[in-house]
Amino acid sequence: MDLKHIQVITNIVGQDNLILDCPMSGHTTFRVGGPAECLVTPTTVDEISATLEYCRNNEIEYLVIGNGSNLLVKDGGVAGVVIDLSSKFNNISVDGLTVTAQAGALLSRVARKAWTASLTGMEFAEGIPGTIGGAVYMNAGAYGGEMCQIVDKVTCLTQDGQIVTFQGEDHGFAYRHSAYMGSGMVILEASLNLTLGDSEAIKATMDDLRGRRRDKQPTDKPSAGSTFKRPANGYAAAMIEQCGLKGFRVGGAEVSTKHSGFVINAGGATATDILTLMDQVADKVQEQFGVRLEPEVQIVGRD
């Protein structure tokens, strides 16, 4: 990227909030991925807005990320600017039955904040390793709960720099989908409507779900959670297992022996290993069941 552009962006976010040639392996839960030309960690809405405006006006590619928990960055890295909201744009506040969190706040932190305020309804999200922004974007869910059940208002930055707030049907929630996907808007914060509950009962539920997740999922290995979307008829993990693919490996990438719906970095994997494995798994499932599994993980970057 041109030095002039780097200087302008540095002036917007500050020297301490910009890294050049930043390995994306440190910003994704897969722990793989080539470098971002320029990674910034803005602290305010104004910094986010100004960075995006400059990128758009100068035709600089950009990518907005949270915790990188549903992200696979290719080995060639990411051109242009990566805007990481998880590091410094992550405030959480509670007002009555409403919890409001900036987009970069980890779901686990928000769930614990709700618990300490004796608010119930978010227990399902405690173990999801993502941010509020990412969770709203894809309507994340687990153990019978989904973000669509608790999201009230979502504040976004539009492509023309306007700050707008959405409610109700405007969210466009469906299974692992929202109206924000493909919209070009950047989610800035979300307000969640919860219910007053008993803090001990809330904690017990969170502890139970955490234990179930630990027992059934490969939480000790780098992954991006469930690798494939749930097909219309059946479950991806069951289909993969019935194809005899538990433990199937390509390089350092492996179909988890603990939960076949997870592709893990078993050690030293590259993004190419993971992508190759995903393609081969999808091919074998299609051959046996006539169903093409679609990635749930977002794939970005250069080959």
Q: DSSP letters along 119-164, please?
A: EES-GGGTT--SBHHHHHHHT-EETTEEGGGTEEEEEEE-TTS-EE
User: Is 108 tagged catalytic?
Assistant: no
pLDDT in tens, 59-112: 999 999 999 998 999 999 999 999 999 999 999 999 999 999 999 999 999 999
User: Is 260 tagged catalytic?
Assistant: no
Q: How far apart are CA 248 and CA 259, in angstroms?
A: 12
Give me the amino acid identity at 70: N
pLDDT class for 175, splitting at 50, 70, 90? Answer: confident
Residues 6+ apart with CB under 8 A from 279: none
To the nearest whole percent, how much of the chain has pLDDT over 70? 100
Q: Which CATH class is domain 3-84?
A: alpha beta
pLDDT class for 176, splitting at 50, 70, 90? Answer: confident
Q: How far apart are CA 236 and CA 176, in angstroms?
A: 14
Whole-model pTM: value is 0.91
pLDDT in tens, 181-199: 989 899 999 999 999 999 9
Question: What pLDDT score was predicted for residue 79?
Answer: 97
From the list 176, 178, 223, 260, the catalytic residue is 176
Give me the amino acid identity at 284: K
Where do the structural domains in the chain lie, given as residue ranges?
Answer: 3-84, 92-202, 218-300
To which H or E segment does residue 285 belong? helix 271-289
For residues 204 and 179, the answer to whether their CB atoms sit within 8 Å is no
User: Is 87 tagged catalytic?
Assistant: no
pLDDT in tens, 31-51: 999 999 999 999 999 999 999
pLDDT in tens, 208-248: 999 999 999 999 999 999 999 989 889 999 999 999 999 99
Residue 129 has pLDDT above 90, yes or no: no
Extended strands (E) in 96-162? 98-102, 119-120, 141-142, 145-146, 151-157
Indicate the CATH number of 92-202 among 3.40.640.10, 3.40.50.360, 3.30.465.10, 3.30.930.10: 3.30.465.10
**Tokens of residue 138, six digits:** 């894809």
3-state secondary structure of 250: strand
Indicate the CATH number of 218-300 among 3.40.50.150, 3.40.50.970, 3.40.50.720, 3.90.78.10: 3.90.78.10
From the list 223, 226, 256, 260, the catalytic residue is 226
Residue 1 has pLDDT above 90, yes or no: no
Question: What pLDDT score was predicted for residue 62?
Answer: 96
Question: Residue 220: exposed, middle, or buried by beta-carbon count in 10 A (0-12, 13-18, 19+)?
Answer: exposed
Q: Give the helix ranges, DSSP H, for 37-94.
A: 45-57
Tell how many helices (H) and how many strands (E) occur in the chain.
Answer: 7, 19
